[in-house]
Structure 1
Amino acid sequence: MDSRSLQLFLSLSETLHFGRSSEACHVSPSTLSRSLKQLEDDLGVRLFERDNRTVTLTHEGRLFQHYAREALAQWDLIRNSLLAEADELHGEISMYCSVTASYSFLYEILSRFRHQYPRIEIKLHTGDPDQSIARAQAGDEDIAIAARPDNLPAGLDFKPIAESSLLFIAPTGDLGFELPPAGHSNADDWSEVPMILPEGGVARDRVDEWFRALAVKPRIYAQIAGNEAIVSMVSLGFGIGVVPRIVLDNSPLAERVKVLDVRPELAPLEVGLFALQKKLKNPLIRAFWAQLQG
């Protein structure tokens, strides 16, 4: 099976940029262009509209994108199943998580996995944790690490790794605002406090629920993608933030912020692995999944 042309097509369909795709796929732009032209000739339709500046998927291209993902997934499944029968597992697993998760959880897991399956390569992408579940759902990544939402999306499996409390943090230096008193919270104490909150995700859902229970519309100073950046902005004195304990414990700015005694406490986060149920049929992904107990 010639899976290479499908891989090249998928890369360009995601980046919509010949230079980035050719670099990622280790081919020249001319080779990438020829491969896609041959694919379009074989199909009898245009998959991309392109000019000197832009590349966009056509309607047919979007339909073929879905087919290409499914075809490669099925190809990987049968190929790796045959390799598993021969006790020769090798190939690639793509993963996505935040930078904090990469060094908080992955070192121990990957150390065991690498020792047991030295021929399986891990392709790790890091970024905004709020994107983790969506990337796993879309099939862009085989495995993602993230906090479990209250309602697990259909088609996804979850395996817990750890639990992390959610903390209210404030700067240790001079403040341009008044801190709410310690202990049980009331609406008057929090109505004028500048808040630095995550843009979305499970942590934001927890905070929004907390403020609703307090009957307060928070005064939001900033909404941030990425928990590490929240610690940075709080340390500079811009407001009070909310971050997972695991992020604060690993932050180089931990000494420049302090944890507030706030009650009621926010519900903790359950952090773990996410994967599409259909992808767990792949022996490589199933082997990685089995590294965790539970």
Structure 2
Amino acid sequence: MCQFLLRDARRSLLRPLRRCYSSNFSNQAIEIESGLQRELDGILNSFDAPITYAFGYGSGVFKQVGYDSADKPQIDLILAVEDPVEFHSRNIKQNSHHYSSLKYFGPKVISRFQDVGAGIYFNPYANINGNEVKYGIVSMKRILNDLKNWESFYIAGRLQKPVKVLKTNPTIEHYNHLNLKAAATLAKHLISVKYPEKFDEFQFYKEITGLSYLGDIRYHLGAENPKKVENIVTKNFDKFRMYYKPIYEDVVVNNGYYLPPGFTLKNSLKKIQYRIQRTSLTQMLKGVATAGVTKSVKYAWAKRMKSRSK
């Protein structure tokens, strides 16, 4: 009898814990159209190399105002892996055509090159299952460090906007929750300074989105649409609402507060701008080597034309 009571007691204790854990980060599970979901799953499952966490982003996954629906945009993916050397070793064997001439130096050199700057190695214009895909490989160590400490603000800034998670990881979800809370804390402060008379939810998401473009060298070169921030929020307002629902209640409604170590309301903008400026320049220079000259020119020209047409 005692054994049954003990077993029931254990079950009753575990049940609420499981519910709490599984629902904690449900806001990060953004839904998309089922056909696109199947396409993205197919792309991810096509890789033989192990992937720990993955998400899709950009106009190929979420629509933005001003993009022609007739022109199918490139699909952007980030793949987080435990061992970059192992990933590149297996991926070069399977998809050598995705890589530039750097592949001839081997996976160790590619992994060391990947670790420069924001710690991401991009393969753009890869044809996967008939889709044009740009995918970036990042180590779990670097992605977690960026979420915890805003080391480069590259992945942290990307994850502050709605993304489509394709492979979940509870550790990343936990630290991304803190990342979102930090972005919300800063956005709320910026609104209180700029618009002290009125708090506007749309502006709140604009401030969050704008953080990841502070100091981005692509804006100075005219490679980005100057209305990109507003376009992203306009087209994806409902997704922002879902993504930030528990964060909004915590920070805006209940006056919660969180910023990464070393960041304050006074120094955050300057620190973020410096890190993005440095990282965006490094990633741009890396892109020539990782993509090759032809693909780099093609990508830069496409971005330039896209920014001019909006």
Whether TM-score is above 0.5 comes out as no
Query: Which has a greater percent of helix?
Result: 2
Query: Which has a greater percent of strand?
Result: 1
- TM-score, normalised on structure 2? 0.23
